[in-house]
Amino acid sequence: MNMRLGIDIDGTIKNTHEAARSIYNEKLNRNVQSEDITDFYLDQAYGLTPQEGKALWRSLESKIYTVGLPMPHASEVLNDLASQGHQITYITARPGLYKIEKITKHWLQQHGFPYTGENLIMNAQDKAEVAHKLQIDLFFEDAPDHLQNLIRKGIRTVIMDANYNRDFPHKAQRMDDWRQVYDLIDRYR
């Protein structure tokens, strides 16, 4: 059976935290290391208030989204799944601004992800609602807030493992390498 897969971008197929860390370090003239960032938000590691953190993120996000590398094997595995007939839809809470959407499409294409021109949903604040609407069979997500909403609303979700979601209290499958996805899909179909 072919499945409809909902794929988050930041922290799921893209190592956005690393991109953000290097851009924050440069901007703030700091040398924060990856292991210093244990929270989903970078604010604490940089000594910023949530308001300062949000403003800084907004001012740098187009740069953060432009640079940064895919998670290992994400592109090759998603291409493989697409060629097997699975439907891939990228579902991101990134703001649906023209500029951000353009950067996002370009990044997907640049790194060879299966992007059809129609399988990208921006500004998905309530990912569970989007997943219901698109009849997603399995969702891949890293952010604790989104995970909680997806699982609470009954969307089958795989947690993309990260240090900031290890204490996530709800039971769900977890993976830390895209090559593990085949076993997970076999389990669900």
Interacting residue ranges for Mg ion, rule: CB under 5 A? 8, 10-11, 142-143
Q: Which residue is nearest to Mg ion (CB)?
A: 11
Q: How far is the CB of 44 from Mg ion (least distance, A)?
A: 18
Identity of the residue, 43 or 142, whose beta carbon is nearer to Mg ion in the bound complex: 142
Q: How far is the CB of 85 from Mg ion (least distance, A)?
A: 26
Identity of the residue, 2 or 22, whose beta carbon is nearer to Mg ion in the bound complex: 22
Quick one: angle between helices 16-28 and 50-66, nearest 10? 110
Helix (H, G, I), strand (E, B) or coil at 89: strand
Q: Which residues contact 72 (CB under 8 A, 6 or more apart)?
A: 177, 178
Identity of the residue, 137 or 142, whose beta carbon is nearer to Mg ion in the bound complex: 142
Q: Which sign does the torsion angle of CA 146, 184, 110, 162 carry?
A: positive
Identity of the residue, 8 or 43, whose beta carbon is nearer to Mg ion in the bound complex: 8
Enumerate the β-bridge partners of residue 160.
175
Q: Which residue has the tokens 């500029």?
A: 99
* Dihedral class, residue 125 (left if φ above 0, else alpha if ψ from -120 to 50, else beta): alpha
User: Active-site residues: which are they?
Assistant: 8, 10
Q: How far is the CB of 29 from Mg ion (least distance, A)?
A: 27
Q: How far is the CB of 142 from Mg ion (least distance, A)?
A: 4
